[in-house]
Amino acid sequence: MIECRTMSGPERPDAFVLMRGFRADEAALGDGLALFVDRPDYGFVWLAYDDGVPAACVSVSFAISTERGGLLAHLDDLWVAPDRRRRGIGSALVATLHGRLDQLDVKRIAVAIPTDAALRGFLTARGYTDDGGTRFRLDRR
């Protein structure tokens, strides 16, 4: 069973283990995760668990979009553990995240991604628009 939720203090080690797979500076990673716990007004980390095992994550940082006249959520660190891929975990992570962002009345979601064809296809299939280069966006309401 896949369960998704906001990282709180007790889940911080789970996020650390997932993100350590692609973040080289462990001190900076620890500081960043602590900031998400201490300052939820800045954003949050959304985690997916597969049968209780940490399986995927994405960090969400808030900004204001003057173009959309409301809250913008910037996604970073979108990651599914390699041994958990192709099981619907990434889809569940993003779908439940969209539900949470709807509750927060987010007007636009922005994603900066590397030139990863699979990730680009994943986002396009979920309605994101390629702004060119390494940026995708999804306008809400």
- Per this entry, what is the length of the chain? 141
Q: Is the confidence at residue 133, as pLDDT, over 80?
A: no
Look at 133 and 6; give whichever has higher pLDDT: 6
pTM of the model: 0.92
35 within 8 A of 15, measured Cβ to Cβ: no
* pLDDT value of residue 134: 74
In this structure, the strands spanning 70-80 and 129-132 are: unpaired
To which residue do tokens 């922005």 refer?
110
Please compute the mean of the pLDDT values over residues 115-136 and round it to a whole number. Answer: 84
15-62: pLDDT as tens digits: 999 999 899 999 999 999 999 999 999 999 999 999 999 999 999 999
Work out the end-to-end distance of the chain between its first and last CA atoms, rounded to an integer number of angstroms: 30
* pLDDT value of residue 119: 84
SS3 readout for the chain = CEEEEECCHHHHHHHHHHHCCCCCCHHHHHHHHHHHHHCCCCEEEEEEEECCEEEEEEEEEEEEECCCCEEEEEEEEEEECHHHCCCCHHHHHHHHHHHHHHHCCEEEEEEECCCCHHHHHHHHHCCCEEEECCEEEEECC
Residue 132: pLDDT band with limits 50, 70, 90:
confident
111 Rama class: left (phi>0) / alpha (psi -120 to 50) / beta: beta
62-121: pLDDT as tens digits: 999 999 899 999 999 999 999 999 999 999 999 999 999 999 999 999 998 767 788 888
- Residue ranges and CATH numbers for the domains of the chain are 2-108 (3.40.630.30)
Q: Distance between CA atoms of 40 and 91, rounded to whole angstroms? A: 24
**CA 126, chain centre distance (Å):** 14
Residue 131: pLDDT band with limits 50, 70, 90:
confident
* pLDDT value of residue 141: 65
* pLDDT value of residue 25: 96
76 within 8 A of 42, measured Cβ to Cβ: no
